[in-house]
C-alpha cells in the first residue's frame, strides 16, 4: 500500500519518542511557562527533537509544523508536511495522569495521509494510512463489535462544561473530562467514547492525526462552525472541533449540530 514506508518510520519514531517521554516522567523533568502561559517541559522539547531527527532524516524534502518548533513559512511551499504535537496533554503529563500522548500526521496537499497517536503510559498506538483503515498496535480495529451504551459518552473540557456551553446535552450524555484532545479523538475513533466537542481554539497539531484516524474509522469531524478541516495553512488554528464516532447515536449527532451555529458567539 502507498505510504507504508512512511507509516513504518513513523511508528518506530513515535514509540522511541514515547519511551523517552516515560523516562522523563520517571526520572524528572523541568517545566517552564511559554509566552501564552501554557506549560512546556523538557520532555516535550526532547520528544520534539527526536521526532524531527527521525522523520526528516528519512524524508528530508518534507516540511515541518510542530507546537514546540518555531514556525517556518517554508512549509507552505511543501507538498508534504509533518504536523506534530510532541506531548498533547502536557498538564496531564506533569500531574502523572496517563492521558498524555504523542500525535503526528503527515499532510499532503492539505489532507492527512499517514497518522499515529501513541499513549506511552498504556502502550497503545493508534495509526492509519489513508484508505487503509484504523489500526491499534498494528491490528485492525473492527467497530462492529463495539457495544452500545444507555447514554453516549462525550469528551468535554471541564471549563466549557462549567460555563454551560454544553448544558443542552448534559441530561442525555455521560461526560468524560478531556485532558488531551488528541487522545480523546483516538479513543473516539475506536469507539470507546462517542463524541468530542469544544468551541475553544485548537491548533492543527492538536487534531491532524485524529482527523485521519476518525475518517478511517468511519466517523465525522469538523471545526466548530461545521466546516471541513484542512492543514498546512498560514495560520494553523481552528475555532473549535466537533467529532462523532460511527457508534454515536443519531440523537447526539443532531444535538451537536444544533449547537454549531452558536459557536460563533463563544469567546475564548
CATH number at residue 26: 3.30.540.10
Q: Which residue has 500526521 as its cell numbers? A: 105
Same-domain check for residues 135 and 154: no
The answer to whether 203 and 237 are in contact (CB under 8 A) is yes
Same-domain check for residues 158 and 122: no
CATH number at residue 196: 3.40.190.80
How many domains does one find in the chain? 2
pLDDT, tens digit (0-9, with 9 covering 90-100), for 184-223:
999 999 999 999 999 999 999 999 999 999 999 999 999 9
pLDDT, tens digit (0-9, with 9 covering 90-100), for 64-121:
999 999 999 999 999 999 999 999 999 999 999 999 999 999 999 999 999 999 999 9
Residue 107 bridge partners (DSSP): 81, 112
The answer to whether 170 and 162 are in contact (CB under 8 A) is no
All cell numbers assigned to 226:
461545521
d(CA 45, CA 72): 17
d(CA 233, CA 221): 18
pTM value is: 0.95
Amino acid at each position: 500500500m502507498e505510504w507504508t514506508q512512511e507509516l513504518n518510520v513513523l511508528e518506530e519514531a513515535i514509540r522511541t519518542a514515547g519511551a523517552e517521554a516515560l523516562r522523563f516522567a520517571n526520572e524528572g523533568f523541568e517545566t517552564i511557562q511559554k509566552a501564552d502561559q501554557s506549560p512546556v517541559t523538557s520532555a516535550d522539547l526532547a520528544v520534539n527533537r527526536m521526532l524531527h531527527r527521525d522523520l526528516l532524516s528519512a524524508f528530508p524534502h518534507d516540511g515541518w509544523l510542530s507546537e514546540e518548533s518555531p514556525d517556518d513559512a517554508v512549509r507552505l511551499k511543501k507538498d508534504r508536511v509533518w504536523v506534530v504535537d510532541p506531548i498533547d496533554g502536557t498538564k496531564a503529563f506533569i500531574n502523572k495522569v496517563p492521558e498524555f500522548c504523542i500525535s503526528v500526521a503527515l499532510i499532503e496537499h492539505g489532507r492527512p495521509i499517514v497518522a499515529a497517536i501513541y499513549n506511552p503510559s498504556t502502550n497503545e498506538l493508534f495509526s492509519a494510512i489513508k484508505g487503509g483503515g484504523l489500526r491499534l498496535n498494528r491490528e485492525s480495529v473492527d467497530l462492529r463489535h463495539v457495544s452500545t451504551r444507555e447514554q453516549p459518552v462525550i469528551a468535554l473540557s471541564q471549563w466549557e462544561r462549567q460555563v454551560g456551553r454544553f448544558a443542552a446535552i448534559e441530561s442525555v450524555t455521560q461526560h468524560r473530562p478531556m485532558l488531551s484532545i488528541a487522545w480523546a479523538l483516538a479513543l473516539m475513533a475506536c469507539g470507546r467514547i462517542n463524541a468530542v466537542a469544544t468551541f475553544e481554539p485548537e491548533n492543527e497539531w492538536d487534531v491532524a492525526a485524529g482527523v485521519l484516524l476518525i475518517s478511517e474509522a468511519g466517523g465525522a469531524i469538523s471545526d466548530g462552525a461545521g466546516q471541513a478541516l484542512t492543514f498546512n495553512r498560514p495560520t494553523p488554528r481552528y475555532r473549535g472541533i466537533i467529532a462523532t464516532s460511527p457508534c454515536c447515536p443519531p440523537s447526539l449527532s443532531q444535538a451537536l449540530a444544533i449547537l454549531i451555529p452558536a459557536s460563533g458567539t463563544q469567546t475564548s
